[in-house]
Chain A
Amino acid sequence: MLVRTAWKRVAAALLAAQGPRPEAPTRSLRLRVAERAPQSAVPSDAAAAPAVESVLRPLYMDVQATTPLDPRVLDAMLPYLVNYYGNPHSRTHAYGWESEAAMERARQQVASLIGADPREIIFTSGATESNNIAIKELEAAIQPDTSLVSVMTVNNEIGVKQPIAEIGRICSSKKVYFHTDAAQAVGKIPLDVNDMKIDLMSISGHKIYGPKGVGAIYIRRRPRVRVEALQSGGGQERGMRSGTVPTPLVVGLGAACEVAQQEMEYDHRRISKLAEQLTQKIMKNLPDVVMNGDPEHHYPGCINLSFAYVEGESLLMALKDVALSSGSACTSASLEPSYVLRAIGTDEDLAHSSIRFGIGRFTTEEEVDYTAEKCIHHVKRLREMSPLWEMVQDGIDLKSIKWTQH
């Protein structure tokens, strides 16, 4: 009954809205898909152009680089971008008070996700700034030799989960500060700063379906962890990070954390299932595929596969209708293979042929199937063209070949 009345109202509203709608400027990069191959080489036949070109966007499978903004998060942010535009540090009027209330509410949401006290959360411009604040603290520490251990909770390239609770226990027994960059882990795996004895933690907004340009650092109060401020100024955020706190962004971060807390279990189940589907399909249909990273301590949403005898860059180019990456976005400009893969001891040739598949909250089964199919198709095609593959098929061991210099 509720549904029917709601539906009638919505349908009427939408039909009305569908009338004269101004064209939003599209700045997207268009992927041209020619429906039919051009039948003649003569370009002047423009009027009789056979291809009905449709313009389509690629699928997004790169959630480790960044995530789309969850509609619930955008809904929480918009009032603070439109109407409630006060500076949260203004103490003398309602605009400031409502903005401050929103900021403190967001702080509480972030804190409850990681089991911390709200007074221990400082808002920053992202996980990178948080990491810098934490590392700078090294200079302020009094310990003789090791003063800070810094570990990534979930690796962004291969998805391996580090044994944080173990490390935390060891660090606290040796009185060493423990910092972790939890950008890829917050909201995806359960984290509790007290159980895991974490002293400092970096949080990034845009990795958990929140806005870009905001993050937070968790700084333990009991026992107190002293940090040195990176930027000085008006003394906001307890003097640890001066600068006006961007209310819309932190409200977005808070909402993203709250949504993540609610959806964590559901998302984890779904993502595990889809990850299983993707790897099973690819590995069943293609030989010589290696999954990088420990299969047991692994976050399912980040799958890094190496396809032997295929070059990673050419596979990425071939899979142009799926947005993927090989290695991390931070290092994607350079042509060197990923330092992470090198560190875990992968062979050079396998390190060059690795692709990272990211599965997130909004990834669908169709997208996973499509990606797997395209991947299988292109790997087979590229292998057909590869002389190394031919040699392997003939039974030659590649490691025994002595390549001559030209």
Chain B
Amino acid sequence: MLTPFLFFPLNLFRTYAIRRIRDAFRENKNVKDPVEIQTLVNNAKRDLGMIRRQVHIGQLYSTDKLIIENQEKPKT
């Protein structure tokens, strides 16, 4: 579920989405009840659709990059 987010052009949402999804998966990794698991998976599918749409819109209306996005590359 993480991969579409790499395409979020706006740094804000990209970092948020990656972090939030990773944390949500970690929090829920001990859930055993199959009904709950199914609900979580359905929510995840719905969110996936939403994110793909929003990534598209973000790219249509993309603007300049943030200051720190430029700096990250030379340091790493």
Footprint of B on A, CB under 8 Å? 2-3, 6-7, 10-11, 13-14, 17, 21, 24, 26, 28, 30-31, 33, 54-60, 68, 71-72, 74-75, 266, 321-322, 361-362, 364, 366-367, 370
Q: Is B40 an interface residue (CB 8 A)?
A: no
Assess whether A28 is in contact with B12, with CB atoms less than 8 Å apart.
no
Count of A-B contacts with CB under 8 A? 85
Query: Contacts A7-B4, A14-B7 given: A366-B54 contact, CB under 8 Å?
Result: no
Query: Contacts A3-B3, A6-B4, A362-B16 given: A56-B66 contact, CB under 8 Å?
Result: yes
Assess whether A31 is in contact with B67, with CB atoms less than 8 Å apart.
yes
Assess whether A59 is in contact with B15, with CB atoms less than 8 Å apart.
no
Assess whether A74 is in contact with B54, with CB atoms less than 8 Å apart.
yes
CA A110 to CA B20, docked complex, whole Å: 23
B23 shortest CB reach to chain A, Å: 7
Pick the contact of A59: B13, B52, B68 (CB < 8 A): B68
Pick the contact of A321: B12, B61, B62, B67 (CB < 8 A): B67
Interface membership of chain B positions 1-22, coded 1 if the CB is closer than 8 angstroms to chain A and 0 otherwise = 1111001000111011000100
CB-CB < 8 A to A59: which residues of B? 66-68
Assess whether A71 is in contact with B68, with CB atoms less than 8 Å apart.
no
Could you pull out 24 A-B pairs where Cβ atoms are within 8 angstroms? A6-B3, A10-B3, A10-B4, A10-B7, A11-B3, A24-B60, A28-B64, A33-B67, A56-B65, A56-B67, A56-B69, A57-B64, A59-B66, A59-B67, A59-B68, A60-B12, A72-B50, A74-B54, A362-B13, A362-B15, A362-B16, A364-B12, A366-B72, A370-B71
Q: 12 extra interchain contacts, Cβ-Cβ under 8 A, other than A57-B63, A71-B54?
A: A3-B2, A28-B64, A30-B64, A54-B70, A57-B64, A57-B65, A59-B67, A322-B67, A362-B16, A364-B11, A370-B67, A370-B71
CB-CB < 8 A to A28: which residues of B? 63-64
- Residue of chain B at shortest CB distance from A8: B3
CA A147 to CA B66, docked complex, whole Å: 49
Assess whether B67 is in contact with A21, with CB atoms less than 8 Å apart.
no
Size bracket of the B interface: 35 or more
Pick the contact of B66: A11, A26, A57 (CB < 8 A): A57
A296 shortest CB reach to chain B, Å: 28
- Residue of chain A at shortest CB distance from B72: A366
Which DSSP category, helix, strand, loop or mixed, fits chain A's interface?
Answer: mixed
Interface membership of chain B positions 33-76, coded 1 if the CB is closer than 8 angstroms to chain A and 0 otherwise = 00000000000000110111111111111111111111110000
* 7 A-B pairs closest in CB distance: A71-B54, A362-B12, A7-B3, A75-B50, A321-B67, A10-B4, A56-B67
CB-CB < 8 A to A10: which residues of B? 3-4, 7, 52
CB-CB < 8 A to B56: which residues of A? 17
B36 shortest CB reach to chain A, Å: 16
A211 shortest CB reach to chain B, Å: 15
Assess whether A74 is in contact with B1, with CB atoms less than 8 Å apart.
no
Assess whether A364 is in contact with B15, with CB atoms less than 8 Å apart.
yes
- Residue of chain A at shortest CB distance from B44: A2
Assess whether B4 is in contact with A75, with CB atoms less than 8 Å apart.
no
B60 shortest CB reach to chain A, Å: 6
